[in-house]
A = this chain, B = another copy of it.
Amino acid sequence: MLRSNFLRLMAHGAPSRLMSTATKLTTVEINDKTGIATLTMNRPPVNSQNVQLLLDLQTSISEIENNKSRGLILTSASSNVFSAGLDIFEMYNTDVERLRTVWTELQNVWIALYGTTLPTAAAINGHAPAGGCLLATACEYRVMRPNFLIGLNEAQLGIIAPKWLMSGFASILPKRVAERALTQGRMFTTQEAFEVGLIDEIASSKEEALEKCAAFIGTFAKVNPLARGLTKLQFRGDNIKEFEMIREKDIADFVALASSPGVQKVMGAYLENLKNKVKK
């Protein structure tokens, strides 16, 4: 409500170049010259995806869609992590209902981002393992800063990435490359990711990454947005349909896996290790 009033005010000759709104853990800034929205994840220190961040991402994506922005750039407020993926703290020693909520909201963020008709780009200004890579590969374009790591490393953690979670990744890379990377749980350096096509450009700073993302979105300037959006969905429709069909089963599968003693033990050891690192 407040936001749309603000926008109406801005339309009448406001001097500021950026219009900004925020949820608890995300901010949205719209450049009023380009009409492009920047969605920033802001949950220090590593943007680990708890339910709140997942909900806030959905709120921000809807907001950007409803404001008829020209495109969406996803980035991070951290200086060295794009997003570390799901928050293990929320999944350790918890009840089945919580696990169910975590996975449902991860699904919801993914389908909101992968299935939006808006042009999307990720300015990957830090590491992007697991759920971080998931968000980046749901976008149409990726620009990354040097010397960071990106990949779906679930297999290394003993987790089986379901097909929908791999579908963005697998649409970007040749099938042979994708199968190998996913079975290895491989993390790619920025340079390696560029060479195989997992990212589209390298940028030396966050600002440059945002500019390159904006330039990509600019390539749609003369394209009819409705035709563009429906064309995008024709490429993604099969993956989306397949996801919708197994959505409920996929939640049940995740809950069963994540609540199993074996996986809970791995999570516990991981968190203990983290605690010790912090102490040092």
Complexed CA–CA distance, A230 and B160 (Å): 7
Interface flag for A176 (CB, 8 Å): yes
Which partner residue on chain B sits nearest A159 by CB separation? B227
Q: List the 5 closest A-B pairs by CB distance, nearest first.
A: A158-B224, A179-B235, A155-B227, A160-B230, A155-B223
Known: A154-B231, A160-B230, A160-B234. 16 other contacts (CB 8 A): A140-B179, A140-B180, A154-B227, A155-B227, A155-B228, A155-B231, A158-B224, A163-B234, A172-B175, A172-B176, A178-B235, A179-B232, A182-B231, A183-B231, A184-B228, A185-B223
A222 within 8 A of B: yes
| Docked complex: A135-157 residues within 8 A CB-CB of B | 140-141, 154-157
> For residue A221, which residue of chain B has the nearest CB?
B184
In Å, the complex CA distance between A185 and B234 comes to 14
B156 touches A231 (CB 8 A): no
C-alpha gap A163/B232 in the complex (Å): 11
Asked whether any CB of chain B lies closer than 8 Å to the CB of A226, the reply is: yes
- Say yes or no: is A174 at the interface (Cβ < 8 Å to chain B): yes
Nearest chain B residue, comparing its CB with the CB of A179: B235
Does A267 make an interface contact (CB < 8 A)? no
Beta-carbon contacts under 8 Å, A116-130 to B:
119
